[in-house]
Amino acid sequence: MPCTTLLVGKNASNDGSTMIARTDDGHFDVKKLIVVNPKKQPKKYKCVLSHLQIELPDNPMRYTACPSVDPKDGIWAATGINEANVGMTATETITSNARVLSADPLVKYQEAKGRRGKAVPGGIGEEDIVVLVLPYIRSAREGVLRLASLLEKYGTYESNGIAFNDEKEIWWMETIGGHHWMARRVPDDRCVLMPNQFGMDGFDLEDAFGDGKENLCSKDLKEFIAKNCLDLNQNGRFNPRDIFGSRRDMDHIYNTPRAWFMGRYLAPDSHTWEGEHAEFTPESDHLPWSLVPDRKVTVEDVKYLLSSHYQGTAYNPYSNRDTGKRGMYRSIGINRTGVTSVCQIRTGVPEEIKGIEWICFGSTTFDALLPIYPNTEKIPNYLSNVTLDVSTENFYWSSRLLGALADHNYATSIQNIERYQDAVAIRGRQILREYDEKMMQSGDFTLTKEANEKLCAMAQEETTKILNKVLLDASTHMKNGFHLADN
């Protein structure tokens, strides 16, 4: 699924938290936020798309998930935080190349042929991965190891990147062909920029085949590379992106510009991003997988980046200046996003409230990011009771309506949109502060339910107000408008 991922190490964030964030960009997928309690976790998991059946462990933990409301194609849980304060987002669809995929083919479902033929199940994929992994892991590293065991046993039918975080660290994992994989611990002082391409541009093989402190991979990865003549690197340098990734013209339109915009925002002084002497351009093949930001990164920065439409550049599709370049690159904030999440694991607070899941639905350019305490038995109806039919009674459809109304009147609506986004951010943080303090003083962490209800009531209030404004604005700009004085 075309998505954009941003990872923020604990020393790169303003409050010492780790953050993993991703836009889940399907095809207008209707999504919701729920809690999956252990009794609801299946004992035997059935993949809808690949027809694979997998026995699951007996000891699942409670976790949040953002599944599709319509289950016809599977769960597609997307992202969540479990009760051990481990976050996960899956998956970022990434690129590969013919050399890799011919050597280790993707494991795709094969229909039965003939009257006596038997169907052959496929591997696991984005539909399944969160449900198969998140309920059973107690650290980010454990997430890599559990998913690795599943990939090696069952394979996958697509190329994906997956992120895990806990209070101390973030791990990023990328699949290689049908059964191989590699993973890196994100340096604490860095941010990772991932725009639907194989991302890692460096890897310590010695560590991976030794102590495995910050690098992990398939046990036969060296042999796999050598046997299939995959290594394109010169002078002893090892760049996984050159080996396992792509170098297509389409990357320069669809993928690399997104990493360029994020890097330009995060490190404007450390690197040159524009002009005759630019180190990196929107079409550079060597954009860094990670970088040290010039200043500490906040949740609001993450939201801004994942809402990007190249504002402040010649590529902004909403610009009123005819630059000849408007809309030429794929934006991060696009129309068909289902859900965007930031899984934040905090430090300096009790275990029960370390996790905060920030959620928004629809096009990130126009929607607001709402914080929720994931350590709870149930998510309020405004986020969880989402229908397949349009309704203003839930956050998903209200956000979709907001984007569709505001997009066509961007110039006149954006000021009200930004005020709405600020209002939800400010009031959301105020409620978090209020309930953090209440719970730390009282020791009553069941107050997460009350806090979430208050957060959702606030979001519904602010979203209703902005819908009133953008609907009026859109109505006044209808093409059939006419007044008596227009004669």
- Residue listed under structure tokens 């207008």: 28
Q: Which amino acid, one-letter code, is at 417?
A: I
Say if domain 3-365 classifies as CATH 3.60.60.10: yes
Q: Which has the closest alpha carbon to 132: 201, 66, 76, 72?
A: 76
Dig out the tokens for 390 from the structure.
Answer: 């349009």
- Rounded to whole angstroms, the Cα distance separating 291 from 142 reads 25
- Rounded to whole angstroms, the Cα distance separating 292 from 210 reads 27
- Rounded to whole angstroms, the Cα distance separating 307 from 406 reads 14
- Judged against a pLDDT cut of 80, whether residue 1 lies above it is answered with no
- Rounded to whole angstroms, the Cα distance separating 26 from 223 reads 36
Q: What pLDDT is recorded for position 486? A: 65
Summarised one tens digit per residue, pLDDT across range 453-467 is 999 999 999 999 999
Residue 16's region, left for phi above 0, alpha for psi from -120 to 50, else beta, is left
Pairing label, strands 370-372, 34-36 = unpaired
- Rounded to whole angstroms, the Cα distance separating 333 from 12 reads 23
Residues of each domain in the chain carrying CATH 3.60.60.10? 3-365
Q: Which of 3, 66, 217, 360 is catalytic?
A: 3
| 3 belongs to the catalytic site | yes
How wide is the angle at C-alpha 398 spanned by C-alphas 394 and 404, nearest 5°?
A: 155
Which tops the pLDDT comparison, 113 or 28? 28
- Rounded to whole angstroms, the Cα distance separating 171 from 173 reads 7
Summarised one tens digit per residue, pLDDT across range 235-251 is 888 999 999 999 999 99
- Rounded to whole angstroms, the Cα distance separating 449 from 330 reads 39
Question: 46 has which bridge partners?
Answer: 53
- Judged against a pLDDT cut of 80, whether residue 329 lies above it is answered with yes
Summarised one tens digit per residue, pLDDT across range 313-324 is 999 999 998 889
Summarised one tens digit per residue, pLDDT across range 250-273 is 999 999 999 999 999 999 999 999
pLDDT mean over 45-54: 98
For residue 270, which phi and psi values (nearest 5 degrees)? -80, -25
Q: Which has the closest alpha carbon to 360: 33, 13, 9?
A: 33
pLDDT mean over 142-171: 98
- Judged against a pLDDT cut of 90, whether residue 167 lies above it is answered with yes
376-380 contacts at long range (C-beta below 8 A, 24 or more positions apart): 376/35, 376/448, 376/449, 376/452, 377/35, 377/37, 377/62, 377/449, 378/35, 378/449, 379/33, 379/34, 379/35, 379/64, 379/452, 380/452, 380/453, 380/455, 380/456
Q: Percentage of the chain with pLDDT > 70?
A: 99
Summarised one tens digit per residue, pLDDT across range 287-304 is 999 999 999 999 999 999
Summarised one tens digit per residue, pLDDT across range 72-97 is 999 999 999 999 999 999 999 999 99
pLDDT mean over 271-282: 96
Dig out the tokens for 308 from the structure.
Answer: 């990007």
Q: What pLDDT is recorded for position 116? A: 83
pLDDT mean over 173-188: 98
Q: What DSSP string runs through 192-253? A: EEESSS-------HHHHTTT-SSEEE-TTHHHHHHHTT-----TT---HHHHHS---TTHHH
- Rounded to whole angstroms, the Cα distance separating 424 from 416 reads 12
SS3 content of the chain, % helix, strand, coil (to 5): 35, 20, 50
